[in-house]
Structure 1
Amino acid sequence: MEAPTGITPGQGGADRRPIAARNTGFANGFAAWLIARRASPNGISGAGMVAGILAGLALAGTAWWPEVARPLWLLGALFVQLRLLANLMDGMVAIGRGVASPVGELWNEIPDRVSDTATLLGLGVAAGSPAWGLAASLAAMATAYVRATGKAAGTPSDFRGPMAKQQRMALVTALAVFCAVTPVAWHAALPLWALVLITALASLTALRRLNGIAGKLRASKVQP
């Protein structure tokens, strides 16, 4: 159980991913509703992980059950967005309640890695290429690994793109909605190309972050 001893940096501190949606009326209203019900930030993070897994299963299901592919594409898009909503709410609720957990940083990071992997592997199955789903998952993991390593070395978390979590999930959501509402002939190869794009740009993102972190460490003479 969380105790009011401060804010876990990953879930609610100053070292947070910049997200414009935090400033919307909906986000603030929903966060206030959760705070009033004493929702657990860690529980919200866990719910986001479940949504990420369900997103992957729904996307994979478009290949397993092609006769119901259209609603499954839409479900995949919905679960991706629910996962992102949970990612947004856990930090806002942590700040609003003034709570921290000794394992809050684990709950902030591990569910995200599970969600990314499940979603991208599911898209790989949908694309007929689990290997590209795995490649995209590993590239996404690399972006988070470099950021976490830089933070551990003493630099602020580096959230730069061009293919950070929000961009990856926006692309998957847009693709899923497009596939749900257009003829199959229009998008037969799109899931595969989306995975190739995610793999390439997420790899570039990891390299950009690594270079930026290295520069900050050299400038501050901090040894990793």
Structure 2
Amino acid sequence: MNEPSARRPLKVRDVKLVNTFARYLSGKNITPNQISVTSVFFALLAAACFLLFAHYAYWWLLILAGLMIQCRLLCNLFDGMVAVEGGKSTKSGELFNDIPDRIADPLILVSAGYAIHIVSYGGELGWCAGLLAVMTAYIRTLNASIGAPVDFKGPMAKQHRMAVLTIACVITALEVVFQQTDYTLLIALIVIIAGCVITCIRRTVSAYRFLEA
């Protein structure tokens, strides 16, 4: 796991309830790496919900998908807190910190694309969003490897992508109930794609300026 200075800045770590639960996990026979791998399990469940929605269009599948996305993010939060605040960091922690995320992001975003009914190119949008999500992380790790500061800036970093998609799940569920459409999910993927492009550019420019300064 990264040192604290290289961690994604999250205000939620200061919430008392979050800290209490992190301490609870730290006291159990649970490793940060196990929590990281569990995030992929929740991503798979979210993907399954999206793909089932593509076939059956049950509104509650979208609510369940949004819930699984948030469970994935909680795993991403608590693996770091158990590793750093709980004193359970390992030399291999960085592998488990990053690789599951690179699996989870495309699983969720690509399947969300296939869940769209109102256009024929939803799958392509999902793949584009998934690849760009991986690209934002690649640029961040590349920057760090060449000596530039670790850069978590958005506008479409991981937590932002998942927040947009979770909100879209809830609104689209209502949209399905009342209008039998899923425009919100389509718009959300377009916003994520555009935001990821901007994020990639911003992170690249920041590294360039630092290295050339």
**Scaled by the length of structure 2, what TM-score is found?**
0.93
Query: Residue in 2 aligned with 1:93?
Result: 82
2:131 equivalent in structure 1 = 138
Query: Is contact 1:17–1:159 with CA below 8 Å preserved after alignment?
Result: yes
What is the aligned counterpart of 2:47 among 51, 56, 76? Answer: 56
Partner of residue 18, structure 2: 27
Q: For 1:178-217, what aligned pairs fall within 5 Å after superposition?
A: 178-182=171-175, 183=177, 185=179, 187-217=181-211
Equivalent AA in structure 1 for residue 11 of structure 2: A
**Structure 1 counterpart of 2:93, which letter?**
G
**Distance in 2 between residues matched to 1:135 and 1:159, nearest whole Å:** 20
Is 80-89 or 13-22 further displaced after alignment? 13-22
Return the alpha-carbon distance in structure 2 between the equivalents of residues 57 and 94 of structure 1.
Answer: 30
Q: Partner of 2:160 in structure 1?
A: 167
Write the distance in 2 (CA, Å) between the matches of 1:213 and 1:38.
Answer: 40
Residue identity in the other structure for 1:71: W
* Equivalent in 91, 98, 105 of residue 102 of structure 1: 91
In structure 2, C-alpha distance between the alignment counterparts of 1:188 and 1:101, rounded to whole Å: 43
How far did 1:186 drift? Answer: 6.8
CA distance in 2, matches of 1:186, 1:21: 36
Shift of 1:140: 0.8
- Cα separation, partners in 2 of 1:186 and 1:25, compared to 1, 3 Å: farther
Instruction: Give the conservation status (yes or no) of the 8 Å contact 1:53–1:114.
Output: no
Q: Is the 8 A contact 1:31 1:92 kept in 2?
A: yes
Aligned length: 208
State, as a whole percentage, how many aligned pairs show the same letter.
37
Q: Given the alignment, which residue of 17, 24, 37 partners 1:46?
A: 37
Deviation at 1:181, TM superposition (A): 3.0
Unaligned runs of 5+ in 2: none
Which letter maps to 1:199?
I
Distance in 2, Cα, partners of 1:110 & 1:202: 19
Q: CA deviation at 1:180?
A: 2.1
Q: CA deviation at 1:96?
A: 2.8
